[in-house]
Amino acid sequence: MYTIGLDFGTLSGRAVLVDARDGAEVAEAVFDYPHAVMDEALPSGRKLPPDWALQHPQDYLDTFAHTVPAVLSASGVAPNAVKGIAIDFTASSPMPTKADGTPLCFLPELEDEPHAYIKLWKHHAAQRQADQINETARRMGETWLPRYGGKISSEWFFSKLLQILQERPDIYARIDRFIEAADWVIWQLTGVETRNTCTAGYKAMVQDGGFPSRAYFKALDPRFENVVDEMVGRDFAELGSKAGELTPEMAAMMGLPAGVAVAVANVDAHVSAPAVKATEPGVMVLVMGTSCCHILSARELGEVDGMCGVVMGGVIPGLYGYEAGQSAVGDIFAWYVDHGVPPEYHRAAKASGLNLHEYLEREAAKQNAGEHGLVALDWWNGNRSTLVDVDLTGLLLGMNLATRAPDIYRALIEATAFGTREIIEAFEARGIEVKELVAAGGLPEKNALLRQIYADVTGRVFKLSGSAQAPALGSAMHAAVAAGIYPDIQAAADKMGKLKDEVVTPIPANQAVYDKLYQEYRALYEHFGRGANDVMKRLKAIKHEALG
């Protein structure tokens, strides 16, 4: 018996065919989205304002058409041996559709309208609406706001929908359903619209089974009073449950039989926890890629500063699932490699047979902790946790004429590790224990220096996913539950989850140095992040004025 997990990332979609008996990954295939991230212009050439990030839903349909036949062909597995299929997705990445699920951007008259497309998770142009959501909630004494660390982000569901209403009410009037791309994909597979509890709880302000009151939505905007009933709905499907069965049309496109069980959608970070056997309290899963999501389960309900949300059963049934995150990790390293590394390092990397990341890692690893004399703030894409502020920007301090590219590369890695330590300390300040770290994703898989720095900075054992495709494996596990192969996700994790034998332990001498550097990071964090000096925001405002 086999299942297929599909992981829809920021730039590509990946399918993994998994043997449900033991979690063996039989075949995988990747499809790069032709439209990628639209943050400068639409396909028509229409320019986008600053802080926009859109995607095209056709890329998701094409992912199914390309990857599923590819894994079947590569594996030789008979299509009728596949018993379940499941997906995970970035979030919050919502989209406007008509009543039948047709995306507004598929309508010819709206293909040149930015608000008709998917607003990707890192769309930050709804900050004004997020501010309004938070200010209104505080004024009205809404009890759900502390469940999100005291702030709703511009990245979340209703910030983006309110932006459409306030900026283009004519487009808003044409929306029948506003839905997470994760749930829309399941709708396309099954013909049945479902809303998963995970995304609803973390990204759409659903707590204790319900949305905020109509009075609250009306206070945001009178036209928003009945938004939940008009465009969203109040029914939620549990993780691991069966959303429906594969339609004949989608089955034919993918080369599978109709009727295959389709699991309820999930979020990429959350679905990774069972894939790395993190089904018990106190294990923080770091899903590290372009950004980083921190997933933690606990028996206690707490209100943690800057967390992205806490939902009962949001990760593992019977436990409170917490989410925090950093808006950029791999994106920061990629930015530096793309824009800041002198030509001599490009030549040296090529001569060594290494890519530039590998070469800089190798050179940076030759240093002692603290040797470069630098400290950085990891806010190149704003701060998600604990400050929840997209208007913050990056900072690098301590450079002089002897500073070299490997120094900066190492300092940027350290900055992201300091950001994770800040998140851990926020949880522990509220009595939520973090015993160990387990990392999944391409960054920890490829970068040994990063693994050691994270262990040293946090002072915790650092374990690694046994799968390079943890989200897709986690999805395949949920597909096995939806297909009835396992009774619950804990049972599936026991048989299908994977950890590497390698365990990275902190080096005491490095810990001592990083404790000192972390105090400098914290001083800068407070000074620039909590209003003592708003220079980052002033600079951003000047930039926007200059851009018109």
pLDDT of residue 442: 82
Of the candidates 111, 202, 216, the one whose C-alpha atom is nearest the C-alpha of residue 162 is 216
Summarised one tens digit per residue, pLDDT across range 147-206 is 998 999 999 999 999 999 999 999 999 999 999 999 999 999 999 999 999 999 999 999
What one-letter code names the amino acid at 108? P
pLDDT digits (tens, 9 = 90+) for 326-372: 999 999 999 999 999 999 999 999 999 999 999 999 999 999 999 99
DSSP state at residue 489: H
Structure tokens at 375: 């400290």
Token reading at 116: 């008709």
Residues 6+ apart with CB under 8 A from 529: 377, 379, 383, 387, 389, 392
In terms of Cα–Cα distance, which of 127, 167, 54, 49 is closest to 547? 49
**Using N-to-C axis directions, what is the helix angle for 470-482 and 489-496, rounded to 10°?**
130
CB 133 within 8 A of CB 162: yes
Return the closest-CA partner of residue 286 out of 481, 416, 121, 426.
Answer: 416
Gap between the Cα atoms of 416 and 193, Å rounded:
38
Q: Is the pLDDT of residue 289 over 90?
A: no
What sign has the CA pseudo-torsion 370, 372, 377, 378?
negative
Residues of the chain above pLDDT 70, percent? 100
| 56-106 residue pLDDT tens | 999 999 999 999 999 999 999 999 999 999 999 999 999 999 999 999 999
Q: β-strands 118-119, 309-312: how paired?
A: unpaired
Cis peptide before 386 (omega within 30 of 0): yes
CATH architecture of the domain formed by 2-266: 2-Layer Sandwich (3.30)
pLDDT(547) > 90? no
The whole-model pTM stands at 0.90
CA angle 338, 339, 345 (to 5 degrees): 75
Distance CA 357, CA 345 (A): 10
Summarised one tens digit per residue, pLDDT across range 403-440 is 999 999 999 999 999 999 999 999 999 999 999 999 99
Angle among Cα 92, 18, 56 to the nearest 5 degrees reads: 30
Burial degree of 409 (CB within 10 A; 0-12, 13-18, 19+): buried
Q: What phi and psi values does residue 240 have, to the nearest 5 degrees? A: 85, -10
